[in-house]
Structure 1
Amino acid sequence: MRSFVDLDRLIGQVPADVVVRLRDLDFGSGSEALYRDQLPGVLSALAHRARVESVTASSAIEGVVVDDTVRAARIVDDVTTRLRNRSEEELAGYRDALDYLFSEDWKPLNVGLLLHLHRLLYSHTATGGGEIKAEDNVVIDRNADGTTSTRFHPVSARETEFYLHELVARFQEATENSRHHPVLLVGLFVLDLLVIHPFEDGNGRVARVVTNALLSDSGYGVVRYVSLEQAIANSVDAYYQTLLGAARGWHTDEHDPWLWLRYFTEVLATAYRNFSGRVAAQRASGSKQDRVRDYVIHHAPTAMRLADIRAALPGVSDQTIRLVLNRLRDDGIVAPDGVGRSAAWIRLPRH
């Protein structure tokens, strides 16, 4: 809410380096439609990879880790029926929240949506979610010597619901007015949501998953094909430092959001650079792999041999077929049955 009280004063003068970055983001956004029309198979492969990275990376930022990467991918792909521990339950919850925003008509943005996303995060746990914090919370850092220090004081529990409603209303008004760049507005929304810190736990994950939805809704759909959460995990120290710096003075309207917005726009710009590079790489060497992947997942019989795939896809080498089958095995989509020439591959059921 605080960041949206006087937007013209706060972000009316955009620093030159951010202006350049926003221009690059708009250029990248314009290329997405072309790729969607011409390279749907390539984007499908990128989206699958990004989905796994987003779920595992956003969870890992909060210390929720499934050490077995193959099993983690199976959980993300929803091919594992039994979740063994709390980390696996929370991993499945982030998957559900991300899928809801990417596959459902989630609009309009409102407090109810934020509560629903929090509920999804904890839908596989015994504790559940979807409730605003009942007591004041403090964000702390645990130091190497075992001591703790306060990072910042969020909004009080008594004021949280009011601040959430105000934040949503002011963000929607600012978006409709179109006076400021939409990426900056999304960045400010995320900053304010994290300072409000409306939940006892899971605030960072709710903020990151809704970031994907707001950026995609604003025309920056790269988050579907390159994991923003992975980029944040790769620079997690800067992520926390810039949030903390921008949060100082927030309660008195004296904060400076540009430290955070510089980081936020750079992470998104990096996503677009990675997107272009991955598309180029897939176009150069991955088109046949995409054909194999699509055939195995959507068209082949449940049990198939390499010779069956070769016959269905003339011009694709056995080496390419084996490469794709091994990747699908690692993703928990197929499993080998037997060895040698008589070996078959079984497409695993999705539960």
Structure 2
Amino acid sequence: MARFVVYYLCMYSPRFTITSQINSAIAEIERLRVAIEHSRILPTKEVVLRRRAAIEATRSSTGIEGNPLSEQEVELVLSGQTISASERFITEVVNYKKALSHIEKRSKDATSLTAKDILTLHRMLMKDLLPKTKSGAFRKTPIYIVDIIGGKDIVRYQGPEPDTMMGLVDDFLGWLREETHDLHPLLVAGILHYEFVSIHPFSDGNGRITRLLTLVYLYQHGYAFRKVFVPESYYFADTKRYYQALGQASDYAHQHAADMTPWLSYFIEGLRAVVNDVSEKITRASWSGSQRGVLTLSEEDYRIIDFIAAVGTTMVNEIVSAVKVPKRTLQRRLSRLVRAGILMRTGRGPSTQYKLKNNRS
């Protein structure tokens, strides 16, 4: 007898209960968000905090998937230095940081996520890690998550059939676009995380892309926490608990239909813990003096700084190509950043070079 598998008949409809614990954690996050957004931080300190957060996010998210590089090694790789490690592990780190930079730009566009966005992001993540036919393409084969217990392969989770990928993703993106207006954005972010990783639409890289898509949604809805926010660190600190919270069933049909309240409780509590950590870092970096003469950094400034931090030392023409800022505008911004003590300038004329000032305080 033929077997027919149908996972979507109508718009996605998640099952969960908003508990008093979840409500309390959301209220605390909102209180901290206001305080963080209104804190005054010296630009030199905020640059350092954002740079450390990008390194920590890269190390945590790749580490969850088994990448063994330490935070120090990740920092060296992202600074363009050579380390003794597997080329695959180095590539995973480089790709993740590029994808992280990409989502920061994408999140400035308020339009809803599309399948094209997802495929583009996957192609960035898996460049030189998967064959080109699998990078940036939904899987065409079954997928199983397997644990080895007592020398035997035990299937922990079986994803949905490959021919349902496009339908499942489109259905969920439709729900995300049309049916979330009455839900708190933090809950929607948690649902996105749960459902997307449950669909497991790619042959590899599902966890990493899920965490990045969750960040895009949070950033788009005003929960960027000055880009010092690293929810991946909470999952990485206890990966067993992370996977237990996500894994409500051993196959997609039951996972899709399960009550996700336990996962949302874990997810929201994790955000609360991470945001509290951000608040403490911001408090230590804050200042209470007069704002007169203190440089305020724009997102364009941060893109310039991030590029220079990534390449180490660079010249004006290279920065122009990377960040797409007119040369005259860029030169003015670079001069301001040098005067503020954020960048160092060496040389003169066409040979002038810029690098990030070594400031870890």
TM-score band, normalised by shorter chain:
0.7 to 0.9
Amino acid paired to 2:20: A
After superposition, the Cα gap between the structure-2 partners of 1:236 and 1:84, relative to the gap in structure 1 and judged at 3 Å, is closer
Could you tell me how far apart the structure 1 residues matched to 2:257 and 2:212 are? 28
Pairing of 1:318-337 with structure 2 (within 5 A):
325=358, 327=360
Report the equivalent of 1:121. Answer: 125
Once the two structures are superposed, residues 73-121 of structure 1 have per-residue CA deviations (whole angstroms, 9 ceiling, x without a partner) of: 1323456699961110111111111110013445430111111111001
Could you tell me how far apart the structure 1 residues matched to 2:256 and 2:86 are? 45
Report the equivalent of 1:140. Answer: 146
Matched, 1:300 2:302: no
8 Å contact kept, 1:155–1:196: yes
Report the equivalent of 1:72. Answer: 74
Query: Which fold has the larger relative contact order, with Cα–Cα distance below 8 Å and residues 6 or more apart in sequence?
Result: 2
Matched, 1:281 2:325: no
Aligned length in residues? 295
CA drift at 1:227 = 1.4
Q: Structure 2: which 5+ residue stretches go unaligned?
A: 1-6, 289-293, 296-308, 310-336, 348-356
Could you tell me how far apart the structure 1 residues matched to 2:276 and 2:255 are? 37
Pairing of 1:1-351 with structure 2 (within 5 A):
5-7=12-14, 10-11=15-16, 13-35=17-39, 39-67=42-70, 69-78=71-80, 85-104=87-106, 105=108, 107-125=111-129, 127-128=131-132, 129-143=135-149, 145-175=150-180, 178-222=181-225, 224-245=227-248, 250-251=253-254, 254-283=257-286, 298-302=342-346, 325=358, 327=360
Report the equivalent of 1:335. Answer: none
Amino acid paired to 1:142: I
8 Å contact kept, 1:142–1:149: yes
Once the two structures are superposed, residues 129-166 of structure 1 have per-residue CA deviations (whole angstroms, 9 ceiling, x without a partner) of: 101101011111223x3322111221110101110011
After superposition, the Cα gap between the structure-2 partners of 1:252 and 1:243, relative to the gap in structure 1 and judged at 3 Å, is closer
Percent identity among equivalent residues? 22
DSSP 3-state at the match of 2:247: helix
Could you tell me how far apart the structure 2 residues matched to 1:117 and 1:90 are? 13
DSSP 3-state at the match of 1:142: strand
Q: Structure 1: which 5+ residue stretches go unaligned?
A: 304-323, 329-351
CA drift at 1:251 = 3.9
Could you tell me how far apart the structure 2 residues matched to 1:215 and 1:269 are? 14
DSSP 3-state at the match of 1:198: coil
Select between 118-127 and 249-258 the one with higher mean Cα deviation. Answer: 249-258
Q: CA RMSD in A?
A: 3.3
- Report the structure, 1 or 2, having the larger helix content: 1
What is the TM-score with the length of structure 1 in the denominator? 0.74
What is the TM-score with the length of structure 2 in the denominator? 0.72
CA drift at 1:213 = 1.2
Amino acid paired to 2:112: P
